[in-house]
Structure 1
Amino acid sequence: MEKIKNNINAAMARTKAALVLKNASIINVFTQKIEINDIAINKYTIIGIGKYDGICEIDCSELFVAPGFIDAHVHIESSMVTPEIFSNLVIKRGVTSIIADPHEIANVLGEEGIEFMLQNSAKGTIDTFIMLPSCVPALEFEDNGAVLKADVLSRFIDNQKVLGLGEVMDVNAVTACNESMLQKILMTCKSHKNIDGHCPKVSISELNAYLCAGICTDHECSDVDEALEKVRLGMHVLLREGSAARNLIDLLPAVDDKNYNRFLFCTDDRHIENIMDEGSIDNCIRIAIREGLDPIKAYTIASYNAANCYNLRDRGAIAPGFKADLVIFKDINKLIIKDVIKNGEIYRNKETYSKVTSKKSVKLDFIKKDLFHIEAKGKEVNVIKVKPGSLETTKEKRKISVENRLIKKVVQAEEVINKIAVIERHKNTEKHSVGFIEGLGLRGAAIAQTIAHDSHNIIVIGDNDKDMEIAVNSIISKDGGIVIVSNGKLLDFLSLPIGGLMTCESPEIVIDKISKLNLLARKYGVKNEVDPFLTLAFMALPVIPYLKITDRGLFDSSSYSFIDLFEI
């Protein structure tokens, strides 16, 4: 009662507001105009727009003020730091709220992983909302660390920080009326919460069925026609600018004056160095404006659209009664951030790094290099071909040379072709598969890591079996992370002790390590236009077209089946 009275009295100018931003150029997401006025704030809440006096006043003449930015879909784990540290990184970029899907850590640690993300994110400055992982494992035949069904997820669904069900990647489970999937969907619908989608390249009948299940978003469009078709049928389309997947520029022509309210910005999977160097949602805004999108619409997409989509009615706009999450900046086009206000207070670099302990997650015996030997059963093999700037791949056939009945090498066309392998690491089942990948360009070295979406088994590439052996065994001995090996020597590594995905070390330490690893990857041939570690991580995700590799073999999404290496 007292809080409401205080706000009403301040709104009526009977008392001074706690904070007033004077003469601000306010971005109004409702009228799509800029208006110059004062913004009066009492604690967490905007209480008035007009002419006000405040106990504390900030002169915002010649400065713009926008609602705090909202990342509509992000996997914090891809930054390789904890939610608490991630919060410190993105708030400096104007991001005050995020909708996170913790399906990476959940695929390793199950419900314990979700608990960790909820608890650790509460220590951060920004508001972290959670979408419960819908596909753990991503597909029924995946070998991951946990299985999350509706009965387990239901204990989280009423948590105020849980906004619904995360990206439903297994489209086939929906269209085939898989009972386990439908139970998760019904559980979410009964709670009147959102269901996120993930449906690249689906047919119109599949899309209709998918929407009938109550799924309302998608972040996997690859072209304008696909985006417009989904908007036409009522979906919210997320414009993604991650580290490996950058679809924003390709999809922007789909946005116009009539449909812009159906689009949101997201980063999905973004490495820490990209956040530090380029930004987060602020980067999306700059790119969109540079590519010709009306600036006010860019800021609206970055704030109000996301809040509206996810039923966050208290934020996303600068108006009385809304949460005082604001970004103060110079130059509406270049977005040079001066200050960020979170919960009515200017953010002042309150960086914390809570120590985190985690149980062992790499449960695997050391391997030998003959694990990577492939018996020749034909004259040609299927090869995964990487597409720079995309998570999608193509399936190519390449000739091989043979020595002692084993594949000696794949005959190169125009590019380097590496061996790639995935080895199960959660239950020591000895499941593994070996194939070939074209387009990364690695020479004279091997890279191994425990980041391999979404089951996060060990994935390794290399141009010789010995370096691949040492790389995998280094990962096992260090209980997760990223390593590079050349000429039999471990050159450098990043330790990721939290599920093999994250660390609680300071961003400076992580940046230093990943920068050195990046330089080494480039030194040994990985192309500049390819993110070496994030691209490698997605080579194990079978739900993204077209050819991927899991510990069970090559998976062709177009036929939704495993194919033999020699099946041409």
Structure 2
Amino acid sequence: MEKVKQYIDAAMGRIKADLVLKNASFINVFTESIDRGDIAIVGDTIVGIGKYTGDVEMDCSDLYVSPGFIDAHVHIESSMIMPKEFAKVIIKKGITSIIADPHEIANVEGMSGVNFMIDNSKQAPIDVFFMLPSCVPATKFEDSAYVLNAEDLEKLINYDKVLGLGEVMDVPAVINNDEGMLKKLDVAKNKLIDGHCPNILPGELNACLSCGVRTDHESTSVKDALLKVSRGMYVMLREGSAAKNLKAILPAVNNQNFGRFLFCTDDRHIDDLLESGSIDNCIRISIKQGLNPIKAFIMASYNAAKCYNLKDRGAIAPGYKADLVMFEDLKGVNIIKVIKNGKEYKESRDKKHVKVNVKSSMHMDFIDSEIFKVESEASAVNVIKLIPNSLETKLVQRKTENKLGYIKRIIDKDILKIAVFERHHKTGKHFVGFLEGLGLKNCSIAQTISHDSHNVIVVGDNDKDMEVAVNSLISIGGGITMVSGGRIIAQLNLPIAGIMTLEAPYMVAEHLKRLSRIARGFGVRNEYDPFISLSFMALPVIPAVKITARGLFDYNKFGFIKLIVK
């Protein structure tokens, strides 16, 4: 009651506000205009727009003010750092709220991994909301460490920071009335449900929508985005480290439908976050591509808040949370200050050291280079072909040259061996295939980051180097390893589930940049992120062909296909 009285008295000008942003030019998300006035704040809430005085006043005469940005869909684990550290990086980029899906760590550590992410995020300087992982594993064709069912999700679905069910990637399970999937959808029936619908057919889209799926971040064409919006979906324009679909689908945004579009990063490495940004980067790209700047800021804030029923944020108006971004240039988004919960954000050093009980997540035997030999008497194989700046791939057939019953080489250039090894249950499952387009030469890269089950994935043009790379990963407990000439030339240790580290963001970024420079030096093309592009070659819920520890997976058939073409 007293707080409400204080709001009213400050709004009426009877008492001073705690903080006033004087003479601010601010984004009005309701009128799609830039308005001018004082923004009065009491506690963490905006109480008035007009003429006000405050205990603290900031002159904003030469600044623009926007509602805090919201990342509508992000996997924190892809940054390789802890949620708290992740938040400290992105708040400087104007992001004050995120909707996180912790399915990466859930595939390795189960519900204990989800709880770890939630607990660590409580110390974050931003608001971290969660969508519970719906697909662990992504499909029944994968080998994850854990399987999460509806009973697992029920334990957290009513937690105040949980908004609903994370991206439903197994579309066939939905349209075929899979009982386990239907139970998960039922758990979240009174909350929000995210989708994952690449190249979905109209009938399948209807089925997903009819059971509560409301968002999608996998559109790669204007036609696909417009279909989803026309059926009532919110469509996210994604700009990650590898998946960069923003420019491709931005032309779908128009004056009539822009309220159904929002921004997300999905998977973004820490070096990209530090150097290029997050949602602020999405805004800059969109404006540069011709989108009206005010619409870009609304998509980055109010649209995301509406989509996720975050009714207390996303706008600059009385009664809304005082999460604000102050910047100089409307197009360049040069951020000067960030206000979070009514206070200017200033980074402080942590006195407490975060303790994490780290145990090895590597449960597999050392391998021998003989394992990479591929038996064949035929003259052709199915090959995964990369598509620049996309997570999608093509299925192509290439001719082979054989010797003594094994493939000696692929006749076409720029084709590498790629293999996935199950690492969670010591099953020995593995599969060897071929990858085209990466450009890597005289080097092997192995890593425990391979979406979403996070088994070991390795690529290279030399069986011995691939052996050394995989075995070194086992020795260090997970991460990224690069090998050339039988020698380890670079490593990044990721002891937490094989996908995250306790190191500081800037240190991890420097390690990644060094590894990327080395990878480029060995021929990896600029249109691919060496490590994120590789990691998504193991995710079978993205078209058109991927590789798992069980074999070569065709998304369109939603089943395995033969490697050898007879």
Return the alpha-carbon distance in structure 2 between the equivalents of residues 181 and 377 of structure 1. Answer: 42
Is 1:138 aligned with 2:138?
A: yes
Query: Runs in 1 of length 4+ with deviation above 4 angstroms?
Result: none
The residue type equivalent to 1:404 in the other structure is: L
Deviations 1:72-122 (A, max 9, x none): 000001111110110011000000000000000000000001000100011
- State the Cα distance separating 1:377 from its structure 2 match: 3.4
- Report Cα offsets for 1:208-229 as digits up to 9, x if no partner: 1111111000000010010000
Alignment-derived partner of residue 288 in structure 1: 286
Cα pair 1:88 1:350 within 8 Å, conserved = no
SS at match of 1:92: helix
Shift of 1:133: 0.3
Q: Distance in 2 between matches of 1:247 and 1:381?
A: 30
TM-score by length of 2: 0.99
Equivalent position of 1:314 in the other structure: 312
**SS of residue matched to 1:286:** helix
Q: Distance in 2 between matches of 1:309 and 1:217?
A: 8
Separation in structure 2 between the aligned mates of residue 377 and residue 153 of structure 1, nearest angstrom: 48
2:70 and 2:300 in contact (8 A); partners too:
yes
Q: Distance in 1 between matches of 2:438 and 2:356?
A: 34
Alpha carbons 1:73, 1:101 under 8 Å: kept: yes
Q: Is the 8 A contact 2:271 2:510 kept in 1?
A: no
Mapped partners of 1:20, 1:354: distance in 2: 36
Partner of 1:459: 457
- Shift, 1:351, TM fit: 5.0
- Match of 2:213, SS state, is coil
Q: Deviation of residue 321 (structure 1)?
A: 0.8
Give the 3 Å change call, closer, same or farther, for CA 538–407 of structure 1 in structure 2. same
Distance, in Å, in 1 between the alignment partners of 2:284 and 2:204 is: 35
C-alpha contact 1:167 1:198 (8 A) present in aligned 2: yes
Query: Does 1:5 find its partner at 2:5?
Result: yes
In 1, are the aligned partners of 2:23 and 2:59 still within 8 Å (CA)?
A: yes
- Which of residues 221, 224, 241 is equivalent to 1:223? 221
What amino acid is aligned across from residue 253 of structure 1 in structure 2? P
What's the CA shift for 1:561? 1.1
Aligned to 2:354: 354
Q: Which residue pairs with 2:177 in the alignment?
A: 177
1:494 partnered with 2:492: yes
**Residues 378-389 of structure 1: pairs in structure 2 closer than 5 A:** 378-389=378-389
Aligned mates of 1:246, 1:404 — CA distance in 2: 43
Partner SS state of residue 110, structure 1: helix
Partner of 1:164: 164
How big is the shift at 1:12?
1.2
Q: How far has the Cα of 1:141 moved from its partner?
A: 2.1
CA distance in 2, matches of 1:409, 1:120: 48
Amino acid across the alignment from 1:552: R
Partner of 1:325: 323
Alignment CA distance shift 1:351-1:305 (3 Å): farther
Instruction: Report what 2:202 is aligned to.
Output: 204
State the SS of the aligned residue for 2:166: strand
- How far apart, CA to CA, are the structure 2 residues paired with 1:367 and 1:58? 62
Q: CA RMSD in A?
A: 0.9
In 2, Cα distance between equivalents of 1:404 and 1:509:
48
Corresponding pairs, count: 564
Per-residue deviation, residues 34-59 of structure 1 (Å, max 9, x unmatched): 11100001111111111000000000
Runs of 5+ in structure 2 lacking a partner? Answer: none
Q: Secondary structure at the match of 2:564?
A: coil
How far has the Cα of 1:359 moved from its partner?
Answer: 2.2
1:401 Cα offset (Å): 1.1
Contact 2:101/2:130, CA 8 A, preserved across alignment = yes
* 2:445 matched residue in structure 1: 447
TM-score w.r.t. structure 1 length?
Answer: 0.98
Summarize deviations over 1:158-190 as a string: whole Å, max 9, x none. 00000000000000000000010011101101x
Q: Which residue in 1 is equivalent to 2:407?
A: 407
Report the Cα distance in structure 2 between the residues aligned to 1:260 and 1:558, rounded to whole angstroms.
31
Cα displacement string for residues 426-484 of structure 1 (whole angstroms, at most 9, x for unaligned residues): 00100000000000011111000000000000000000000000000010001110010
